[in-house]
Chains A and B, each alone.
Chain A
Amino acid sequence: MDQTPTTTSEINTNNSTRKKRGVPEGTWIQCPSCKKTVFRKEVEKRLNVCTECGFHLYVSAKQRISQVLDEGTFEEWDADLVSVDPLGFSDSRSYKERLVAEQKKTGLKDAVVTGSGMIRARRVAIGVTDSGFIMGSMGSVVGEKLTRLVEKATERNLPLIIISGSGGGARMHEGILSLMQMAKVSAALAKFHEANGLFISVLTNPTMGGVAASFASLGDVILAEPRALIGFAGPRTIKATIRIELPDEFQTSEFLLKHGFIDRIVHRERLKSEIATVIDYCGK
């Protein structure tokens, strides 16, 4: 599906700055939105939100889980699934090499972490995609882990939360197998829906392509972080097709709210309590 390299360059900048922890220039980071240099510790204290402009910066899946769940309650599921290379895909480097490099970079096996934990003492099933791992794209492992998560939530009657961050959508390197993960996860969600399960989908910067066009858009309640890039086709593809300038705020959380596709825009500091509120109203 459409990939949006513009957004990952922002993420990567931020990511590589993060790695320089301890070295002098790591004390400061540049906000990808307002371009101002901000004090890293202050930003981290605010859950990686820019102290100058309020832009919500990248957070890893692991960080996200600790932000949203009650401390020490997370139990990871299906941690041992790893991608293979069904197509024998290779561009500037082989997909196999890319996977190893991404694993090293992020400390993850693939682009999603799933499991169970508590939010304000209520047990939930939770999945978080990490846009730092091959742009948070969905290949067979992401699709399988999310499908298992949905199935377990169905069996155990748990509220389901999926926090999406994906600039890549369906992962090109696994071709058609990635595309079919969209149908697989969506079908599992349809069964979950029939069983009256509650699904809260949280969209973060960026949520694009095949991720936006599958599970991320299927929440009973859809929340989004402010100013996240969310959409089907990448802005570059659209620009190349229609050859006019794109409007301000196009494909942002605010744009989606205005056009009626999300329920609420939620600041990161309030995300946990807003999820808890929805579970209060709709949970069993």
Chain B
Amino acid sequence: MTMDYLSFEQPIADLQSELDALTKAEVTTPELAEQIRQLRQKLTQTTREIYDNLTPWQIVQVARHKNRPYTTDYLAMVFREFVELHGDRKFGDDRALRVGFARLDEQKVLVLGHQKGRDFKERSQNFFGCAHPEGYRKVMAKMKLAAKFGLPIITFIDTPGAYPGIGAEERGQAQVIAENMFEMSRLPTPIICVVIGEGGSGGALGIGVGDRVAMLQYSYYSVISPEGCAGILWKSHEYAPKAADCLKFTSKDLKGFGIVDDVIEEPLGGAHRDHQHMAATLRSYLKKNLKELLTVPVATLLERRYEKFRRMGQFLELPAAQTTAPT
């Protein structure tokens, strides 16, 4: 895969091409080997420095990187098998959301997630990962199926938002998102949700209610897109970086607010730089948490799931003058 560098990654790109030139040399001398070793070290150090100091807007760029692993990539790398289930039996088969049976080693699960698409053709078919009501209905129906037969559920969130269009409104976009949250809050089986790229408001939350909610390190999860926010506040998408600063939507912010349980570390330089590494980390996270959740009796699981979302929010209750902050 050819690397596409983001503008703030220019120092990384320069060092990499320098390194590529050196490693192409046919004769290896001890001096050259030493030079390569030093350059590699510098590359690692530079990458770390840049990635340790990403601005919220740069994180959005990484979360949207076209080489970032998508749901189907994880389906192939994390699970032993994937048996896709299609259609909502009411209207159609939305390609922006994929769902099916899968095996995490021996554990049978139901996996679902948004799928943006790698090339232009796939992206247009998938509406760039913006799902329609039939997509949300499809995954809800399959989640009920999973609960009926005792399969735990894993969801991968990666959407700019639910699709804004005429058909989507005609077929009840608002209603399906509401219904999915309502139903997921009571589904009697363990649910793990992971934001793998973009967590775009209601479209993300429509598959985002679970017992564990995690984010990959350089994903973001927001009430509104930075462009949308900029459009409202400053009447121009050009202010998106400024809006990104305001919205506090990085994995670190959300962990601080008590919205996500865990932040899953990405490989150096982001998930797009090493799919296998990212998949391995994600896989061990899912295994560990599923194992824990499967020991919890269903009644307790549902009570905890309720309490988890019940605690979210910050406000002041005047007479007592105390803040309810997430713990």
Q: Measured between alpha carbons, how far is A260 from B171 in the docked complex, in Å?
A: 9
- Among listed B40-48, B74-82, B174-182, interface-contacting one: B174-182
The answer to the question of B162 belonging to the interface, with a C-beta cut-off of 8 Å to chain A, is yes
The 0/1 profile, CB within 8 Å of B marked 1, for residues 203-228 of chain A is 00000011011111110000000000
B 95-137 contacts with A by CB, 8 A: none
Contacts of A250 in B (CB 8 A): 166, 169
The 0/1 profile, CB within 8 Å of B marked 1, for residues 236-259 of chain A is 011001100011001100010001
B 3-33 contacts with A by CB, 8 A: none
For A144, give its contact among B164, B178, B202, B315 (CB under 8 Å).
B315
Q: Measured between alpha carbons, how far is A93 from B310 in the docked complex, in Å?
A: 30
The answer to the question of A87 belonging to the interface, with a C-beta cut-off of 8 Å to chain B, is yes
The answer to the question of B189 belonging to the interface, with a C-beta cut-off of 8 Å to chain A, is no
The answer to the question of B233 belonging to the interface, with a C-beta cut-off of 8 Å to chain A, is yes
For A232, give its contact among B164, B233, B249 (CB under 8 Å).
B164
The answer to the question of B269 belonging to the interface, with a C-beta cut-off of 8 Å to chain A, is no
Of the listed residues A80, A89, A140, A232, the one surrounded by the most CB atoms of chain B closer than 10 A to its CB is A232
Contacts of A175 in B (CB 8 A): 222-223, 247-249
Contacts of B221 in A (CB 8 A): 176
Q: Measured between alpha carbons, how far is A243 from B164 in the docked complex, in Å?
A: 11
Asked whether B172 lies within 8 Å of A177 as measured between CB atoms, the reply is: no
Contacts of A214 in B (CB 8 A): 177-178, 181
B122 to A: closest C-beta gap in Å: 19
A27 to B: closest C-beta gap in Å: 35
The answer to the question of B280 belonging to the interface, with a C-beta cut-off of 8 Å to chain A, is no
A121 to B: closest C-beta gap in Å: 31
Asked whether A187 lies within 8 Å of B165 as measured between CB atoms, the reply is: no
Contacts of B205 in A (CB 8 A): 179-180, 182-183
- Among listed B63-71, B284-292, B317-325, interface-contacting one: B317-325
Asked whether A86 lies within 8 Å of B314 as measured between CB atoms, the reply is: yes
Q: Measured between alpha carbons, how far is A144 from B224 in the docked complex, in Å?
A: 20
Of the listed residues B172, B223, B318, the one surrounded by the most CB atoms of chain A closer than 10 A to its CB is B223
Chain A residue at minimum C-beta to C-beta distance from B305: A187
Asked whether A238 lies within 8 Å of B312 as measured between CB atoms, the reply is: no
* Contact A232/B315 with A175-B223, A217-B178 known, Cβ cut-off 8 Å: no
Contacts of B182 in A (CB 8 A): 186-187, 189-190, 193, 218
The answer to the question of B219 belonging to the interface, with a C-beta cut-off of 8 Å to chain A, is no
Asked whether A231 lies within 8 Å of B259 as measured between CB atoms, the reply is: no
Chain B residue at minimum C-beta to C-beta distance from A207: B174
Asked whether B185 lies within 8 Å of A190 as measured between CB atoms, the reply is: yes
* Contact A232/B173 with A84-B316, A190-B186, A210-B201 known, Cβ cut-off 8 Å: yes
The answer to the question of B168 belonging to the interface, with a C-beta cut-off of 8 Å to chain A, is yes
A174 to B: closest C-beta gap in Å: 8
A221 to B: closest C-beta gap in Å: 14
For A191, give its contact among B178, B257, B306 (CB under 8 Å).
B306
Give how many A residues have a beta carbon under 8 Å from the other chain's beta carbons.
69
Contacts of A181 in B (CB 8 A): 312-313
The answer to the question of A131 belonging to the interface, with a C-beta cut-off of 8 Å to chain B, is no
Chain B residue at minimum C-beta to C-beta distance from A109: B318
Chain A residue at minimum C-beta to C-beta distance from B164: A233
Contacts of B232 in A (CB 8 A): 3, 5, 172
The answer to the question of B229 belonging to the interface, with a C-beta cut-off of 8 Å to chain A, is yes
Q: Measured between alpha carbons, how far is A237 from B164 in the docked complex, in Å?
A: 7
Contacts of A261 in B (CB 8 A): 172, 175
The answer to the question of B265 belonging to the interface, with a C-beta cut-off of 8 Å to chain A, is no
Asked whether B315 lies within 8 Å of A83 as measured between CB atoms, the reply is: yes
Contacts of B165 in A (CB 8 A): 233, 238, 241-242
The answer to the question of B34 belonging to the interface, with a C-beta cut-off of 8 Å to chain A, is no
Contacts of B169 in A (CB 8 A): 231-233, 238, 250-251, 255
Chain B residue at minimum C-beta to C-beta distance from A85: B314
Asked whether B162 lies within 8 Å of A172 as measured between CB atoms, the reply is: no
Question: Can you list 10 A-B pairs with a CB-CB distance of less than 8 A?
Answer: A87-B248, A175-B247, A176-B221, A176-B247, A176-B253, A182-B205, A183-B209, A210-B202, A232-B173, A259-B170
| Residues in chain B within 8 A of chain A (CB atoms) | 162, 164-166, 168-175, 177-179, 181-183, 185-186, 201-202, 205, 208-209, 221-224, 228-229, 232-234, 246-249, 253-254, 257, 259, 305-306, 309-310, 312-319, 323-324
Shortest 3 CB-CB contacts between residues of A and residues of B = A233-B164, A140-B313, A187-B185
| Residues in chain A within 8 A of chain B (CB atoms) | 1-3, 5, 80-84, 86-87, 89-92, 139-141, 143-144, 147, 170-172, 174-184, 186-191, 193-194, 209-210, 212-218, 230-234, 237-238, 241-242, 246-247, 250-251, 255, 259-261
Additional A-B contact list (15), CB under 8 Å, known A172-B247, A175-B248, A184-B309: A81-B316, A82-B315, A83-B315, A87-B247, A91-B246, A140-B315, A170-B202, A176-B248, A186-B178, A209-B202, A212-B174, A215-B178, A217-B172, A232-B168, A250-B169
